[in-house]
Amino acid sequence: MSVQHWSDYSPVFRNERLKAVFSHSSLLLDGNEDRQQFASVTGLNPSRLIIPQQIHSTNVSVIRAAGRVNNLDGVFSANPDLICSVQVADCLPIYFVHKSEVVFGLVHAGWRGLVNGILWKSSKLLMDHGHSTNEFEVLIGPSIKSCCFEVSDDVVNQFNPAFVENKGNGKYRIDLQEMALNQLMSSGFQKDNITVLSDCTSCKEGKYHSYRRNGKKAGRMIGLLGMKPKI
């Protein structure tokens, strides 16, 4: 049986022209050119990538040209020729796709981004550009789950207690996926339009990279979202 090196999430979305993909740790990529390589492997145009410099911020923006963009953790586009990208290794890769229009985006949401409001800012960005959040389908991709995401007393107070489980001895588990789902719904996204994948990146060592598990030596997974090239 051949190894599956990436996941295709396109069927989650009703727009049949859309392509949503996510790399696995078994896909061997080469440093600075990793996103271009992954785009080529999945049939997307590597020259049309939007590549944000991620800084665990709440900065999101609509991008109108391919290339690198500084200090962003969420990129959106209404240009069918562009491809949004993010890289993650436990943080939540969140895909946004309008049901009927060419509007789509990818957000890198770590715990700091969630706590500080990156999903609310994403919602406001879309509404400021004339879109209704209930017209979007959303996918929360593979990310670290509460089974493996543990914090201490020094940061636990930054989280909504509804998503915190006290394990004793000053240790707490945080459910980032439920936290993200709650924030999306509070921002007007419909629950029936949100898909949350069950894979924990830290648990599934053979399938995903994990910063929590492997530290600084951890690799990264890549998420890409764009329109399939016209044949």
- Asked whether 76 and 138 are in contact (CB, 8 A), the reply is no
pLDDT of residue 146: 97
Q: How far apart are CA 43 and CA 117, in angstroms?
A: 33
Strand ranges across the sheet with 83-88: 6-8, 18-23, 221-227, 83-88, 49-52, 67-69
How much of the chain exceeds pLDDT 70, in percent? 97
**Burial class of 104 by CB neighbour count within 10 A (0 to 12, 13 to 18, 19+):** buried
Out of 30-39, 150-159, 192-201, which region has the weakest mean confidence (pLDDT)?
A: 30-39
pLDDT digits (tens, 9 = 90+) for 43-77: 999 999 999 999 999 999 999 999 999 999 999 99
* pTM recorded for the entire structure: 0.96
Q: Measuring CA to CA, how many Å separate 132 from each of 112, 126, 158, 159?
A: 26, 7, 29, 28
Residue 180, both tokens: 């993200």
